[in-house]
Amino acid sequence: MQRPDEKKRQLIAATAAKLFATRPFHKVKLDDVAAEAGVGKGTLYVYFKSKEDLYFWLIYDAFSQVIEQLESQLGRGELSASQTLRRIIAELVKFGFDNPQLFELMRSAGPRIKDERWETKRKELVTLIEKTIRRGNKSGEFDDPHPEITALCLPGFMRSVMLFGSRGLDERTVVVQITRLVERGVCGGEGSDKNDKRNVAVATGRNGR
């Protein structure tokens, strides 16, 4: 009896990922995916139940991988919040560099392709970051008044750099810079809040549009 071939599934997935990263969802033809992967169109439906299912699997898989990777890295020993945050950043950047098309891929389809499993995974990641910052706040390493916003921003960094950064950027540089941005934002100290508020008020206080 012929068995489903995991290699083939991966081949199809990889091919689809490449195409979805190149053009928007609605311009990717399953005929093309099949042709490019060197399989029959019908075979696609052996491994995936629909075009959307295929696309979703791609993203979901990537997310699961990062999170799994992160958790295995962090769960190992007991790290300080600061060290943990650095690990997270390094790991995320590494993952991005290892999967350079991932962020293009995520742009292929738009909002609300149903399913919340995707959203769940995303939140998992953000929460992981947020908790780390909160831990740092408690331990005195950090003093971030809005861990939830900062946590939200970190993946945004990644995205920006991976999507729009010049090709010349190397991984180390990116890690250092993002670490710098986040860590300083997160730490307490200079740049008093009073000062912040005054200046921000100046910048904000204008006529509404």
Residues numbered 47-76 forming contacts with DNA, rule: CB under 7 A? 47, 50-52
189 binds, among DNA, its own copies, none (CB under 5 to 8 A by kind): its own copies
Is residue 107 involved in binding DNA (CB under 7 A)?
no
Decide if 103 contacts 95 (C-beta within 8 A). no
Distance CA 82, CA 136 (A): 7
- The answer to the question of residue 157 lying near its own copies (CB under 8 A) is yes
**Count of CB atoms situated within 10 Å of the CB of 144:** 19
Structure tokens at 60: 């979901």
When binding is defined by CB under 7 A, the residue of 24, 38, 165, 191 that contacts DNA is 38
Among positions 169-188, residues that touch its own copies (CB under 8 A) are 169, 172-185, 187
Of the two residues 78 and 164, which places its CB atom closer to its own copies in the complex?
164
Question: What secondary structure, in 3-state letters, does 25-64 show?
Answer: HHHCCHHHHHHHHCCCHHHHHHHCCCHHHHHHHHHHHHHH
Query: Contact letters (x/-) for its own copies, 37-66, by CB under 8 A?
Result: ------------------------------
CB of 54 to its own copies, least distance (A): 15
C-beta of 19 vs 125, nearer to DNA: 19
Cβ-based neighbour number of residue 95 at 10 Å:
17
Among 111, 140, 167, 170, interactor with its own copies by CB under 8 A? 111
Question: Closer to DNA at the Cβ: 52 or 148?
Answer: 52
Q: Which residues contact 182 (CB under 8 A, 6 or more apart)?
A: 85, 89, 150, 153, 154, 157
Interacting residue with DNA among 14, 31, 117, 200 (CB under 7 A): 31
Among DNA, its own copies, none, residue 13 binds (CB under 5-8 Å by kind): none
95 binds DNA (CB under 7 A): no
Q: Does 137 bind its own copies (CB under 8 A)?
A: no
What b-and-e string marks burial along 101-127, b requiring 16 or more CB atoms within 10 Å of the CB?
bbbbbbebbeeeeeeeeeeebeeebbe
